């Protein structure tokens, strides 16, 4: 089953095994619901965890897992990425997961300039990492992104002069 990134563990919180997660999902309540299975990428090994508790604290999700409610058992997960199983039922018509952008060909005014290799998630807007003859970072905002066809893996942009070297 396909997985999607839902956040990154930035720290522990208290001594009862809570992990502070910087989330990158719009479905916080659904993803961190008690009993749900989440995956933690522990340096290349996916660890399946069952949510015991979660709450919001100062803009982050604090989550604890069944059988891991002790700081000594979870401290090693600081810096790890948290995944959930992809669930299309959470999306409305026309919506897609950020990860679906990876692999899309990017065209600037009809000319292929590269392929999306990564999406960097920031508070204000996301950034497409496009790789072609050069690496281009494109803010994922309406000013630049004019059309998205995720099914056909195509994104059309209009970049301003000097944004990248066209030679």
CA atoms within 13 A on the CB side of 160: 3
Q: Are 57 and 64 in contact (CB under 8 A)?
A: no
Report DSSP letters for 63-127, one per residue: EEETT--SHHHHGGGTT-EEEEE--GGGSPTT---GGGGTT-EEEETTEEEEEEEEEE--SS--E
44: tokens are 């290349």
What pLDDT is attached to residue 163? 80
Q: What is the pTM of this model?
A: 0.70
What pLDDT is attached to residue 79? 93
pLDDT beneath 50: ranges in the chain: none
Q: How far apart are CA 98 and CA 109, in angstroms?
A: 23
Q: Which of these, 26, 28, 9, lies nearest to 17 by C-alpha position?
A: 9
Q: How far apart are CA 90 and CA 149, in angstroms?
A: 20
What pLDDT is attached to residue 115? 97
What pLDDT is attached to residue 100? 87
| Domain boundary assignment for the chain | 3-90, 98-157
Q: In what order do the strands lie in the sheet with 111-120?
A: 135-139, 127-131, 111-120, 105-108, 154-157, 145-149
- Spell out the residues 6+ positions from residue 57 whose beta carbon is closer than 8 angstroms to its own: 13, 20
What pLDDT is attached to residue 45? 95
CATH number of 3-90: 2.40.30.60
71-113 pLDDT, tens digit each: 999 999 999 999 999 888 888 888 888 888 989 999 999 999 9
Assigned CATH topology for domain 98-157: SH3 type barrels. (2.30.30)
What pLDDT is attached to residue 167? 62
């Amino acid at each position: 089953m396909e997985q999607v990134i839902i956040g990154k563990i930035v720290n522990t919180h208290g001594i009862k095994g809570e992990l502070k997660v910087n989330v990158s999902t719009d479905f916080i309540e659904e993803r961190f619901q008690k009993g749900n299975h989440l995956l933690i990428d522990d340096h290349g090994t996916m660890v399946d965890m069952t949510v015991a508790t979660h709450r919001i604290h100062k803009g982050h999700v604090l989550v604890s897992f069944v059988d891991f409610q002790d700081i000594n058992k979870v401290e090693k997960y600081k810096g790890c990425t948290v995944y959930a199983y992809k669930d299309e039922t959470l999306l409305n018509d026309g919506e897609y997961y950020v990860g679906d952008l990876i692999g899309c060909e990017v065209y600037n005014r009809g000319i292929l300039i590269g392929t999306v290799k990564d999406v960097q998630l920031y508070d204000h807007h996301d950034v497409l990492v496009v790789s072609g003859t050069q690496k281009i970072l494109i803010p994922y905002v309406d000013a630049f992104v004019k059309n998205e066809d995720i099914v056909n893996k195509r994104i059309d942009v209009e970049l301003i002069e000097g944004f990248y070297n066209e030679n």
